[in-house]
Chain A
Amino acid sequence: MAATDTVSAPQHYLQSLSRWSGGEIAFWLATLMPFFLFPNYLSLASQIAITALFALSLDLILGYAGVVSLGHAAFFGIGAYGAGLFSKFVWGEPLSGLLVGALLAGIAGYATSFIVCRFRHLPLIMLTLGLGLLAFEVANSAHWLTGGSDGLQGIRIWPLFGIFKFDLYGYTAYSYSLAALFLIFLGMRRLVNSPFGLALRGIRENLVRMPAIGAASRAHIRKAYTIAATIAGIAGALLTQTTESAALESISFQRSADVLVMLVLGGAGRIYGGLVGAIIFMIARDQFSGIAPQYWYFWIGILLIAVVMLLPNGILGGLSKILVRWRRK
Chain B
Amino acid sequence: MTEIALSTRRLDKNFGSLIVARNIELNLPKGARYALIGPNGAGKTTLINLITGMLKPNAGQIFLGDEDVTGLEPQERVRRGLARTFQINTLFPGLNALEAVTLAVCERRNIAGEFWRNIAEHGEAIEEAYGILRKLRLGDSCYQVTRELPYGRQRLLEIALALSTRPKVLLLDEPAAGVPQEESGEVFEAVASLSDDLTLLFIEHDMHVVFRFASHIIVLVGGAIFTEGSPAQIAADPGVREVYLGKRKHG
The stretch that binds A, out of B96-104, B189-197, B232-240, is B96-104
Q: Would A190 and B118 count as touching, CB distance under 8 A?
A: yes
Q: Is B164 an interface residue (CB 8 A)?
A: yes
The stretch that binds B, out of A3-11, A73-81, A118-126, A174-182, is A3-11
Q: Would B115 and A190 count as touching, CB distance under 8 A?
A: yes
Chain B residue with the shortest CB-CB distance to A195 = B106
Task: Name A206's contact: one of B84, B93, B164 (CB within 8 Å).
Answer: B93
> What string of 1s and 0s marks CB contacts (under 8 Å) between A203-221 and chain B?
0111011111111110110
Asked if A198 meets B75 with Cβ closer than 8 Å, knowing A11-B127, A214-B165, the reply is no
Q: Is A13 an interface residue (CB 8 A)?
A: yes
Q: How far is the CA of A12 from the CA of B130 in the complex (A)?
A: 12
Asked if A199 meets B75 with Cβ closer than 8 Å, knowing A14-B119, A205-B95, the reply is no
Q: How far is the CA of A215 from the CA of B117 in the complex (A)?
A: 19
Q: Would A211 and B122 count as touching, CB distance under 8 A?
A: no
Q: Would A11 and B120 count as touching, CB distance under 8 A?
A: yes
Q: How far is the CA of A62 from the CA of B26 in the complex (A)?
A: 43
Q: Would A195 and B112 count as touching, CB distance under 8 A?
A: yes
Report chain B residues within 8 Å CB of A212.
52, 74-75, 78, 83-84, 86, 90, 161-162
Of the candidates A194, A201, A204, the one having the most CB atoms from chain B within 10 angstroms of its own CB is: A194
Question: A residues 170-191 with Cβ under 8 Å of B?
Answer: 190-191
Q: Would A223 and B100 count as touching, CB distance under 8 A?
A: no
Report chain B residues within 8 Å CB of A220.
112-113
Report chain A residues within 8 Å CB of B66.
none
Report chain A residues within 8 Å CB of B106.
195, 198-199
Q: Would A15 and B112 count as touching, CB distance under 8 A?
A: no
Q: Would B114 and A196 count as touching, CB distance under 8 A?
A: yes
Q: How far apart are B100's CB and chain A's nearest CB, in angstroms?
A: 7
Q: How far is the CA of A215 from the CA of B102 in the complex (A)?
A: 13
Question: B residues 123-170 with Cβ under 8 Å of A?
Answer: 123, 125-127, 129-130, 142-143, 161-162, 164-165
Q: Would A195 and B122 count as touching, CB distance under 8 A?
A: yes
Chain B residue with the shortest CB-CB distance to A13 = B143
Asked if A198 meets B142 with Cβ closer than 8 Å, knowing A205-B92, A212-B83, A215-B107, the reply is no
Q: How far is the CA of A32 from the CA of B129 in the complex (A)?
A: 42
Chain A residue with the shortest CB-CB distance to B81 = A214
Q: Would A214 and B108 count as touching, CB distance under 8 A?
A: yes
Q: Is B185 an interface residue (CB 8 A)?
A: no
Question: A residues 122-144 with Cβ under 8 Å of B?
Answer: none
Q: Is B59 an interface residue (CB 8 A)?
A: no
Q: How far apart are B14's CB and chain A's nearest CB, in angstroms?
A: 23
Q: How far apart are B123's CB and chain A's nearest CB, in angstroms?
A: 5
29 of the cross-chain contacts (CB-CB < 8 Å) are A7-B123, A10-B126, A10-B127, A11-B120, A11-B127, A14-B120, A14-B126, A190-B116, A193-B120, A195-B112, A195-B115, A196-B112, A197-B119, A198-B112, A204-B94, A209-B86, A209-B90, A209-B161, A210-B75, A211-B73, A211-B78, A212-B74, A212-B84, A212-B90, A213-B108, A214-B79, A215-B112, A217-B75, A223-B113
Q: Is A202 an interface residue (CB 8 A)?
A: yes
Q: How far apart are A198's CB and chain B's nearest CB, in angstroms?
A: 5
- The 6 A-B residue pairs whose C-beta atoms are closest, nearest first, are A196-B115, A214-B78, A205-B92, A15-B120, A211-B74, A213-B104
Binding site for A on B (CB under 8 A): 52, 54, 73-75, 78-79, 83-84, 86, 90-95, 98-100, 102-104, 106-108, 111-120, 122-123, 125-127, 129-130, 142-143, 161-162, 164-165
Q: Would A205 and B94 count as touching, CB distance under 8 A?
A: yes
Q: Would B90 and A11 count as touching, CB distance under 8 A?
A: no
Q: How far is the CA of A99 from the CA of B43 in the complex (A)?
A: 56
Chain A residue with the shortest CB-CB distance to B102 = A198
Report chain B residues within 8 Å CB of A198.
95, 99, 102-103, 106, 112, 119
Question: A residues 147-179 with Cβ under 8 Å of B?
Answer: none
Q: Is A18 an interface residue (CB 8 A)?
A: yes
Q: How far is the CA of A190 from the CA of B120 in the complex (A)?
A: 11
Q: Would A194 and B116 count as touching, CB distance under 8 A?
A: yes
Task: Name A191's contact: one of B94, B111, B115, B125 (CB within 8 Å).
Answer: B115
Report chain A residues within 8 Å CB of B74.
211-212
Report chain A residues within 8 Å CB of B93.
205-206
Report chain A residues within 8 Å CB of B99.
14, 198, 201
Q: Would B103 and A15 count as touching, CB distance under 8 A?
A: no
Report chain B residues within 8 Å CB of A12.
120
Q: How far apart are A271's CB and chain B's nearest CB, in angstroms?
A: 14
Q: How far is the CA of A209 from the CA of B74 in the complex (A)?
A: 10
Asked if A199 meets B126 with Cβ closer than 8 Å, knowing A205-B92, A214-B75, the reply is no
Q: How far apart are B111's CB and chain A's nearest CB, in angstroms?
A: 5
Asked if A216 meets B75 with Cβ closer than 8 Å, knowing A8-B126, A13-B143, A196-B112, the reply is yes
